[in-house]
Amino acid sequence: MIQRDPLTPEEVALSLRDACERTLCLVEDLSEEELRVPYLRIVNPVLWEIGHVTWFQEKWVLRRDGGPSLAAYADELFDSAAVHHESRWQIPLLPREETLRYKEGVLEQVLERLERRPLTPEELYFLRLVLYHEDMHGEAFVYTRQTLGYSAPRGLRGGPAGEAGPLAGDAEIPGGTLRLGAERDDPFVFDNEQWAHEVEVRPFRLSLAPVTQAEFQVFVEDGGYARPELWTKAGWRWRTEEDAHHPVYWGREGEIWLRRRYDRWVALEEHLPVIHVNAFEAEAYARWAGRRLPTEAEWEFASGPARHPWGDCDPGSGRAHLDLASDGCVEVGAKAAGDGPFGNRQLVGNVWEWTASVFKPYPGFAPGPYKEYSEPWFGTHRVLRGGSFATRARLLRNTWRNYFTPDRRDVPAGFRTAASPG
């Protein structure tokens, strides 16, 4: 059942304009060659992705009852379920100007529809769906720029803001009964959050902050990538095939460790979270440290029963590092006002956090209208929680589940570690 949405049409319109402006900001400085990008399994051609975001908005808001697209061959070009990843480099993409006209034309028609008449709860549901879909692709544009070595996004504050230092130690989490998942009174949740069900969480300890670059450097220098006993079988197989010896964007100049930050090499920022590591690397570090990754139930328990770790109010600049407030992470000691109920910091924002949990449906799962969103990926992906510096704040709540295959290092993900008592 779709609940009544508290947002007004005017607020939805402002959010849709904001999402469009953010998309354009993230791609407007790219050359024609950069828009098309070389083939990589982990990125899309930027031009295709802009067209796909537009097609998705048109399909779910303007064309749910059929009717033609504003762009010729849009269904053949931009339907991600029909146009498989490898073929996106072979199809004849629209030129930049035509792609942007398509985007502007669709948004204009959507906004006109918002002005014409009151909207039903079902219509507001689909408006939220297309808004959040564009937000997620906006984050993908950020890490695509990192993956391909493009410059940092323009129009944002450069670099990490302020010095907050490290935050060592654990929070003692007492355990208990958790309502894992979303409750039915939320006007919009994704299908994989449905619905809340009780699980028992045993007492555990959870690090106050994500693992830092300095902490991960010690693991690297201790030969962590060369010790098979620290890795799962799947992780060691990945490490061997990739010939990985350190995080993907790290390098060394003499005795100095460097990290590629978009198109520049910088010295490691010791108190910033380690980022762009995959689940296998996170697990190996945790085992090296005599610890483990938290399950998603443990992560959600530590975040508390409210909408966010700090309560039901919006994040604000003091509680979480989100929304591209800068083009990278802040130090792990920052954002104390956003601490969770047990004292864990940055559970939301800065870096996505790998968990130990395989992405699976909750009991009673039923696919939503966008059937390809979750169901095809159950069993093969790993759950991440929390959001990154590039995630839009309006997307997130404690129940929000992200998911990627455990080998992915392009996403802005880090991790924190857990331990059982004793």
Span 191-206, mean pLDDT? Answer: 98
Give the whole-number percent of the chain exceeding pLDDT 90: 87
- Token duo for residue 354: 């790998």
Calpha distance 27→140 (Å, rounded): 11
Separation between Cα atoms, residue 35 and residue 49, nearest integer Å: 10
Average pLDDT over every residue of 227-243? 98
pLDDT tens-digit readout, 127-166 = 999 999 999 999 999 999 999 999 999 866 555 556 789 9
Tokens standing for 72? 């010729």
Look at residues 93, 6, 1 and name the one whose alpha carbon lies nearest to residue 307: 6
Q: How far apart are CA 289 and CA 230, in angstroms?
A: 10
Any idea where the domains of the chain sit in the sequence?
Answer: 9-147, 170-213+245-419
Torsion sign across C-alpha atoms 290, 293, 298, 301: positive
Q: Which CATH number fits domain 170-213+245-419: 3.40.50.2300, 3.40.50.280, 3.10.180.10, 3.90.1580.10?
A: 3.90.1580.10
**Does 9-147 match 170-213+245-419 in CATH topology?**
no
Using the structure block, give the residue that is written with the tokens 């947002």.
Answer: 7
Order across the sheet with 170-173: list the strands.
170-173, 204-207, 418-419
The 3 state secondary structure assigned to 142-175 is HHHHHHCCCCCCCCCCCCCCCCCCCCCCEEEECC
Average pLDDT, the chain: 94
Tens of pLDDT, residues 290-303: 999 999 999 999 99
What is the C-alpha to C-alpha distance for residues 77 and 88, in angstroms, rounded to an integer?
8
**Dihedrals φ, ψ of 382, to 5°?**
-115, 145
For the segment 3-12, the average pLDDT, to the nearest whole number, is 73
Local confidence band at 3 (pLDDT 50, 70, 90 cut-offs): very low
CB neighbour list of residue 140: distance below 8 Å, 6 or more residues apart: 44, 49
What average pLDDT does the segment 295-324 reach? Answer: 94
Residue 65: band (very low, low, confident or very high) from pLDDT cuts 50, 70, 90: confident
The reply to whether CATH 2.40.160.20 applies to domain 9-147 is no
Q: How far is CA 12 from the centre of its chain?
A: 22
Residue 158 has which token pair?
């450069």
> Out of 80-94, 348-362, 378-392, which region has the weakest mean confidence (pLDDT)?
80-94
Tell whether the model's pLDDT for residue 191 goes beyond 80.
yes
Give pLDDT, residue 157.
59
The pTM (predicted TM-score) of the whole model is 0.96
CB-based contacts of 264, cutoff 8 Å, min separation 6: none
Q: What is the DSSP letter of 371?
A: T
pLDDT tens by residue, 393-409: 999 999 999 999 999 99
Least confident of 125-129, 162-166, 241-245, 329-333: 162-166
Give dist(CA 328, CA 220) in Å, integer.
22
Planar angle of CA 30, 36, 41, nearest 5 degrees: 120
> 352 or 160: whose pLDDT is higher?
352
Mean pLDDT across the stretch 222-238?
98
* Spatial CA neighbour of 203 closest among 301, 304, 99: 301
Percent pLDDT > 70 in the chain is 97
User: Which pLDDT does position 405 carry in this prediction?
Assistant: 98
The pLDDT, as a whole number, for residue 115 is 87
**Shortest CA distance to 181 belongs to which of 418, 400, 415?**
400
Could you tell me which of 394, 397, 152, 414 has the C-alpha nearest to residue 286?
414
CA-based torsion, 331, 334, 340, 343: positive or negative: positive
165 close to 50: Cβ distance less than 8 angstroms: no
pLDDT band at 118; cut points 50, 70, 90: confident
Dist CA 422 CA 417 (whole Å) = 15
Question: Model confidence at 2, in pLDDT bands (50, 70, 90)?
Answer: very low
Q: Taking residues 109-117, report their average pLDDT.
A: 89
Question: Quick check: 51 and 94 in contact, CB under 8 A?
Answer: yes
φ, ψ of residue 197 to 5 degrees: the values are -145, 155
pLDDT classification of 1: cutoffs 50, 70, 90: very low
Partners of residue 198 on adjacent β-strands: 179
Averaged over 99-104, what is the pLDDT? 97
In DSSP terms, 308 is beta-bridged to 311
